[in-house]
Amino acid sequence: MNLGAFLIRRLWQMVPTMLGVVLLVFFLFNWVGGDPAYILAGKMANPADIANIRHQLGIDRPLWEQLLIFVRQIVTGDFGNSWATQEPVSAIFRSRLGPSLMLLIPMMLLETATAVAVALAVAAWRGSTLDRALMAASTVMMSISLLVYIIVGQYVFAYLLGWFPVKGWSDDFWRNLTTYAVLPVLLGLMVSIAPSVRLYRTFVLDEIGQDYVRTARAKGLSEVRVLLVHVLRNAAIPIVTNVLMGLPALLTGAFLLERFFAIPGIGREIILAVERSDFPIIKAATVYVAMATMLANLLGDLLYHWLDPRVHLE
């Protein structure tokens, strides 16, 4: 199957999946989420105020009409205004996306590069003191909560040593990248790199035991070339899968990092929306994450074919 036909087929297959997500989100928010009019009206509101809010929000209309409005919002990308701030939801996501990406893209790139390099190193010396020490350290790091890293990191590196600001953000891109984002990126890296090292080590070890590796060694290739050219390329497919499954998190951000470091990203905005029962923002975030997940799966299939031509696009 050629690339164009494959893309059309996969995009068409996303339609029923997206419809299922839309129906699930709609009925969860309408049946489980409660009546937002009571939340927005406050404790002292009278029935007339509640009825007026229900009319303004359109939740007094029949369910089928509300569903059509929700579908139209998704198609047009216009989810209305925030119930708490009256800002357009699309404008909120556009303004919050930059800080989240500035925090999470460096974290993802550093985590992937470091974890792959460490996994190759410990797999090459499997069973050595270095391997056991790194695996023990990874287990300890995985056992510690992100909240502990944030509190200790802010106290040591920001308060005691004064190397970084405790929190803050500005309109200057380079200042944010080199000043405000450094400490949260390092702390996020300390949390995420341990499970990645253990997982990638398993992928590498699975490939090292294959026949093609023994053949490459028998031909006299150096161990570095065997690892970087042969082993890494074949281990790249599950590594790419793991990385791409984390891409949708770029939309929601690192909730705790953004909250504790006062970074105006999407994750912090979603936390505020949950606290304020701001349903338009929550629904938009849910739909966007679902779309990002499906697109990440599509990108993964294309990368698999590029990494290994034996993988056919079907």
What SS3 state is found at 21? helix
- What local confidence, expressed as pLDDT, does residue 46 receive? 67
**41 or 72, higher pLDDT:** 72
Same domain, 95 and 44: no
Q: Domain span at residue 20?
A: 3-76
Same domain, 276 and 159: yes
pTM of the model: 0.76
Same domain, 63 and 141: no
Residue 298, φ and ψ in degrees, nearest 5: -65, -45
How wide is the angle at C-alpha 100 spanned by C-alphas 99 and 101, nearest 5°?
95
- What local confidence, expressed as pLDDT, does residue 34 receive? 59
Question: What is the amino acid identity at position 9?
Answer: R
CA distance 45 to 138: 54
Give the residue from 16, 46, 76 where a domain finishes: 76
Segment 4-8 mean pLDDT:
75
- Inform me whether the pLDDT recorded for 74 exceeds 80: yes
List, in order, residues 6 or more apart from 231 with CB less than 8 Å away: 120, 123, 204, 207, 208, 213
Give the residue from 22, 44, 76 where a domain finishes: 76
How confident is residue 287, by pLDDT bands cut at 50, 70 and 90? confident
- Inform me whether the pLDDT recorded for 284 exceeds 60: yes
- 84-102 pLDDT tens trace: 777 888 888 888 888 888 8
Q: Are 296 and 245 in contact (CB under 8 A)?
A: yes
| Residue among 141, 122, 308 at smallest CA distance from 200 | 122
CA distance 308 to 239: 13
Please tell me the total count of domains within the chain.
2
Look at residue 244 and tell me if it is in a domain. Answer: yes
CA distance 226 to 221: 7
- What local confidence, expressed as pLDDT, does residue 280 receive? 84
CATH of the domain at 292: 1.10.3720.10
- Judging by beta carbons within 10 Å of its beta carbon (0-12, 13-18, 19+), is residue 166 exposed, middle or buried? middle
DSSP assignment of 204-247 equals HHHHHTSHHHHHHHHTT--HHHIIIIIIHHHHHHHHHHHHHHTT
- What local confidence, expressed as pLDDT, does residue 313 receive? 59
Same domain, 227 and 100: yes
Same domain, 104 and 72: no
Q: Where are the alpha helices (DSSP H) in the chain?
A: 3-27, 36-41, 47-57, 63-76, 89-124, 129-142, 146-153, 173-175, 182-208, 211-218, 223-225, 232-245, 249-252, 255-260, 266-275, 279-307
Percent pLDDT > 70 in the chain is: 86
Look at residue 83 and tell me if it is in a domain. Answer: no
Look at residue 122 and tell me if it is in a domain. Answer: yes
How wide is the angle at C-alpha 7 spanned by C-alphas 294 and 285, nearest 5°?
25
How confident is residue 49, by pLDDT bands cut at 50, 70 and 90? low
List, in order, residues 6 or more apart from 179 with CB less than 8 Å away: 164, 165
| Residue among 239, 284, 246, 292 at smallest CA distance from 266 | 284
Look at residue 86 and tell me if it is in a domain. Answer: no
pLDDT winner (highest mean) among 149-163, 206-220, 300-314? 149-163
Same domain, 55 and 193: no
**Rounded to an integer, what is the distance from CA 305 to the centroid of its chain?**
24
**299 or 312, higher pLDDT:** 299
Same domain, 235 and 115: yes
How confident is residue 42, by pLDDT bands cut at 50, 70 and 90? low
List, in order, residues 6 or more apart from 39 with CB less than 8 Å away: 277
Look at residue 144 and tell me if it is in a domain. Answer: yes
**105 or 42, higher pLDDT:** 105
Same domain, 28 and 151: no
- 238-249 pLDDT tens trace: 888 888 877 776
- What local confidence, expressed as pLDDT, does residue 311 receive? 60
- What local confidence, expressed as pLDDT, does residue 286 receive? 84
Same domain, 111 and 223: yes
Q: What is the average pLDDT score of the chain?
A: 79
Segment 239-263 mean pLDDT:
77
Residue 88, φ and ψ in degrees, nearest 5: -60, 135
Q: How far is CA 63 from CA 30, 55, 103, in A?
A: 9, 14, 40
- What local confidence, expressed as pLDDT, does residue 276 receive? 76
Same domain, 140 and 236: yes
* Paired strand residues for 150: none
Look at residue 168 and tell me if it is in a domain. Answer: yes
Same domain, 223 and 274: yes
Same domain, 154 and 271: yes
- What local confidence, expressed as pLDDT, does residue 37 receive? 66
pLDDT winner (highest mean) among 123-132, 198-207, 296-305? 198-207
How wide is the angle at C-alpha 185 spanned by C-alphas 179 and 187, nearest 5°?
115
- 153-179 pLDDT tens trace: 888 888 888 888 888 788 888 888 888
Look at residue 158 and tell me if it is in a domain. Answer: yes
Give the residue from 24, 51, 76 where a domain finishes: 76
CA distance 191 to 245: 17
Look at residue 84 and tell me if it is in a domain. Answer: no
